[in-house]
Amino acid sequence: MGRASTARRIAVAAAFGGTGVGAVWASVYGLVNVEAKMARKRIGPADKPLPCDGTYGEQLAGAPLSMVMLGDSSAAGLGVLRAADAPAARIAAGLAHAARRPVRLTCVARVGATSAALEDQVTSALPARPHVAVVMVGSNDVTHKVAPAVSVRMLEQAVRRLREAGCEVVVGTCPDLGTLEPLAQPLRWLARRASRELAAAQTIGVVEAGGRTVSLGDLLGPEFEADPAAMFSEDGFHPSSEGYARAADVLLPSVLAALGFAVPDVAGAVPSRGEGVRAVADAAVAAADRAGSEVTATQVAGRDRGPAGRWALLQRRRAEPAPSLQEAAEAPKGG
């Protein structure tokens, strides 16, 4: 069975209440109990993430934009030494800089959360009347025996609730767990395959629900391998401030696009081969293989769907790195 078919099967199972558990996932579940426990012993107890809620660019004119951050420890920024380095803070600062408006950030992400926790997180986030929600979730679903279709279903339901409230949604899909140093073989190989399958299925569910996704994939893999001391936090498992900065940098352009703000291109950037309109399952698999790829719904000849399902646009937005809080503070005032 092809990977697009596998992702589609998981997404369909999510829509109709199935589990969509395949042989690869069953193998991961069988090994996680041993290998993940060993990894946790090496990692040690996790600290609480630093709170990053607040208003960014508050010296700027105009009504504040409301941004909410949902998901797991990666969304909460576990491992950073300064709240300003959390991915939510960097995205909020970048959004304020680009929009020339203050951004009020509410982070409801929680350490250890799986996609099942999104229901309560959305309930907590909605009173903030968010204009945009950023979600980073999936790693714990792979390592906590959550059936992939159940994981996708909970994510899709969360996206639908946010969209019904008039909120734009950008989801950073499950990262490639095969890049994590504490994991040993064969769990590392299995985790890589399972996490990419989940990322592709997440993309299908999110796009169907009206959101857009950005693949985190092996975004940090090469850097982790070359300089793990710089890219890992002190626990040896979660990203460092530099690692989170990379994730924020690839998510920010999609946040800007979702809200209708211009995305500045890096000088000299040109479209990459393979980008463009595809059936959503094909776009989802391609995105899972290439970190930083965005997938969003589109139309062909005025139609949402073709012979292979919903049409989707696969692209890599090329923007400058998210500005620091100091740069955001220095952004010119405007309406």
Number of H helices, E strands in the chain: 13, 10
Beta carbons within 8 Å of 210's beta carbon, 6+ residues apart: 159, 160, 163, 169, 297
Query: Do β-strands 309-316 and 305-306 pair in parallel, antiparallel, or remain unpaired?
Result: antiparallel
Exactly one of 53, 120, 235, 289 is catalytic; name it. Answer: 235
Beta carbons within 8 Å of 301's beta carbon, 6+ residues apart: none
Q: Is 235 one of the catalytic residues?
A: yes
Q: Is 97 one of the catalytic residues?
A: no
Q: What is the DSSP string of 140-207?
A: HHHHTT--HHHHHHHHHHHHHHHHHTT-EEEEEPPP-GGG-TTPPTTHHHHHHHHHHHHHHHHHHHHH
Interhelix angle 148-164/187-208, nearest 10 degrees: 30
Q: What is the DSSP string of 64-123?
A: PEEEEEEESHHHHTTT-SSGGGSHHHHHHHHHHHHHTS-EEEEE---TT--GGGHHHHHH
Interhelix angle 3-15/280-289, nearest 10 degrees: 120
Query: Do β-strands 65-71 and 103-107 pair in parallel, antiparallel, or remain unpaired?
Result: parallel
Q: Tokens 């990419």 belong to which residue?
A: 196
Exactly one of 66, 73, 151, 195 is catalytic; name it. Answer: 73
Q: Is 144 one of the catalytic residues?
A: no
CA 272, distance to chain mean position in Å, is 21
Exactly one of 115, 176, 218, 238 is catalytic; name it. Answer: 238
> Which token pair is 317?
């937005």
Any idea what DSSP says for residue 128?
A: G
User: Does the CA dihedral 222-88-158-214 come out positive or negative?
Assistant: negative
Kindly list the catalytic residues: 73, 235, 238
